[in-house]
């Protein structure tokens, strides 16, 4: 936001400029994406030919350890000029794409312990800000997950301190989606305690990336609307619209970014005696796995009510279950994933809602290859 204000001020100094002219400047849709350290080489090789379509790349990055130190998972400290991290640095700089490494942390107890301690919290702020400056990154993306509601005020203080220390470098924040209460509860609780303070996040983050995926069964209204059909989305566009509209009540649309998924899941599922289904997760998957499996089974996947791809099949092996349960019908399997068309729908949604852009999780060589044909061209220009 600080950079946008500076640009607007400079624009007004140009000959013939006016407030009307400044208002007529429409920012292009921003496209960013995460490259995971566990698929660092294939992800980097996959992304480099398409960098012209990205505003920022956000490698995972750094992992906060339980003592508050940072582990360089992506290898940014490697001295070799031929390392993957070095290659990504050189190419993003040449293409004028922001390098915004992700600092990730998922140990809720450790997050709470360190952020509650003023000295340890401030030390972490300094550590991250100094890292961004020393390494010459464009900024940092903060992805602290599994926080408790008790951590909320301390996470806000951490963001405030980090934002001040980062100076002109960008602060991106990746946060969990928040389903509107009317869709998440049959009876809305009198008190709802969240782990993220949207007001503080709006104030201290230059970009707010809502991780609008892993929907599952969280939206009771959309579950009911499935009308008895299996429904276990990665991210139904209707749900994403609710999530982003709800977030936009507090967070500026100029900062909001829709996180979109490139993967899916396979579940066992069984019909319940009264209504609905029970889903038991087997594993996460990439589209290529799903399509290979469908081919082996002679099944044609179909686009489902969530706008994603899925198919159902009967496993060829029967689970070994003792007792009376052994006579029961073995569960079916459902394979459900986000393909390029599902991502294109989220990009269209971003435009219709007027939010800043989309962030793709994950870019590792396993995404639908058709993804590259649905990204807006030249988004960073």
Domain boundaries, the chain: 27-261+338-373
Output the pLDDT for position 318: 54
Q: Kindly indicate the confidence band of residue 329, based on its pLDDT and cuts at 50, 70 and 90.
A: low
C-alpha–C-alpha distance, residues 267 and 270, integer Å: 10
Main-chain dihedrals φ then ψ at residue 20, nearest 5 degrees: -65, -40
* pLDDT tens by residue, 302-319: 999 999 999 999 987 655
Q: How confident is the model at residue 16 (pLDDT cuts 50, 70, 90)?
A: very low
Q: What is the pLDDT of residue 11?
A: 39
When pLDDT is averaged across residues 64-92 and rounded to a whole number, the result is 93
pLDDT at 198: 98
CA distance 332 to 313: 6
pLDDT at 321 over 60: no
Query: What proportion of the chain, given as a percentage, has pLDDT over 90?
Result: 83
Burial of 110 (0-12, 13-18, 19+ CB in 10 A): middle
- The pLDDT assigned to 10 comes to 38
Give the whole-angstrom CA distance, residue 381 versus residue 362.
23
Q: Output the pLDDT for position 193.
A: 94
**CA distance readout (Å), 314 to 305, 317, 321:** 21, 9, 17
Task: Provide the edge-to-edge strand list for the sheet that holds 277-285.
Answer: 277-285, 264-271, 332-337, 309-313, 302-303
Q: What is the model's pLDDT at position 79?
A: 73
Residue 107: per-residue pLDDT: 97
Between strands 207-210 and 170-175, the pairing is parallel
What is the C-alpha separation between 334 and 229, in angstroms, rounded?
A: 12
Q: Return the pLDDT at 317.
A: 62
Question: What value does the mean pLDDT of the chain take?
Answer: 90
Query: 183 falls in which pLDDT band (50, 70, 90)?
Result: very high
The whole-number average pLDDT for the span 289-303 is 98
- How many Cβ atoms are within 10 Å of 359's Cβ, its own excluded? 25
**Is the model's pTM score more than 0.85?**
yes
Query: Is the per-residue pLDDT at 26 higher than 60?
Result: no
pLDDT surpasses 50 at 75: yes
Per-residue confidence (pLDDT) for residue 287, from 0 to 100: 98
Average pLDDT in the 346-363 region?
A: 98
What does the pLDDT read at residue 273?
Answer: 79
**What pLDDT score was predicted for residue 379?**
56
Average pLDDT on 182-197 reads: 96
Of 43-52, 81-90, 137-146, give the lowest mean pLDDT range. 81-90
**pLDDT of amino acid 47:** 97
pLDDT at 29 over 90: yes
pLDDT score for 322:
47
Report the pLDDT value the prediction gives residue 326, as an integer from 0 to 100: 44
Which pLDDT belongs to residue 24? 36
Structure tokens at 129: 């800000």
- CA dist 191 and 372 (Å) reads 44
Q: Which residue has the higher pLDDT, 19 or 132?
A: 132
Digit-coded pLDDT (tens) for 203-247: 999 999 999 999 999 999 999 999 889 999 999 999 999 999 999
pLDDT of residue 178: 98
* Third-level CATH fold of 27-261+338-373: TIM Barrel (3.20.20)
Going by pLDDT thresholds of 50, 70 and 90, the confidence category of residue 276 is confident
Q: Is the peptide bond before 362 cis (omega within 30 degrees of 0)?
A: yes
| pLDDT class of 324 with cuts at 50, 70, 90 | very low
DSSP string computed for 354-371: T-SEEEEE--SS-S-GGG
Instruction: Check whether 80 has a pLDDT greater than 90.
Output: no
């Amino acid at each position: 936001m600080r950079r946008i204000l500076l640009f607007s001020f400079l624009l007004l100094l140009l000959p013939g400029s006016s407030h009307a002219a400044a208002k007529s400047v429409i920012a292009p849709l921003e496209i960013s994406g995460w490259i995971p350290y566990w698929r660092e080489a294939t992800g980097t090789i996959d992304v480099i030919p398409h960098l012209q379509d990205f505003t920022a790349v956000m490698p995972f990055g750094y992992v906060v350890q339980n003592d508050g130190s940072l582990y360089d998972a992506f290898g940014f400290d490697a001295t070799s000029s031929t390392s993957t991290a070095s290659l990504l640095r050189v190419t993003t700089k040449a293409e004028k794409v922001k390098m915004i490494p992700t600092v990730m942390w998922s140990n809720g107890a450790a997050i709470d312990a360190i952020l509650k301690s003023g000295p340890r919290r401030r030390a972490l702020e300094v550590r991250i800000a100094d890292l961004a400056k020393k390494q010459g990154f464009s900024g940092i993306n903060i992805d602290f997950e599994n926080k408790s509601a008790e951590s909320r005020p301390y996470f806000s203080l951490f963001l405030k301190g980090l934002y001040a220390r980062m100076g002109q470098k960008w602060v991106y924040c990746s946060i969990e989606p928040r389903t509107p209460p009317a869709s998440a509860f049959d009876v809305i609780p009198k008190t709802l305690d969240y782990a993220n303070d949207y007001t503080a996040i709006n104030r201290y983050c230059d970009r707010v990336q809502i991780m609008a995926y892993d929907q599952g069964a969280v939206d009771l209204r959309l579950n009911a609307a499935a009308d008895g059909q299996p429904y276990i989305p990665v991210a139904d566009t209707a749900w994403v619209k609710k999530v982003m509209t709800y977030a936009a009540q507090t967070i500026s649309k100029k900062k909001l970014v829709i996180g979109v998924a490139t993967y899916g899941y396979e579940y066992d599922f069984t019909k319940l005696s009264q209504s609905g289904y029970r889903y038991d997760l087997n594993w996460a998957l990439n589209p290529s796995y799903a399509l290979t499996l469908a081919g082996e089974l002679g099944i044609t996947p179909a686009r489902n009510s969530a706008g994603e791809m899925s198919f159902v099949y009967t496993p060829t092996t029967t689970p070994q279950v003792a007792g009376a349960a052994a006579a029961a019908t073995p569960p079916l399997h459902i394979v459900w994933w986000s393909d390029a068309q599902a991502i294109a729908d989220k990009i269209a949604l971003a435009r219709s809602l007027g939010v800043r852009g989309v962030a793709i999780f994950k870019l590792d060589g396993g995404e639908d290859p058709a993804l590259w044909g649905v990204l807006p061209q030249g988004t960073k220009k």
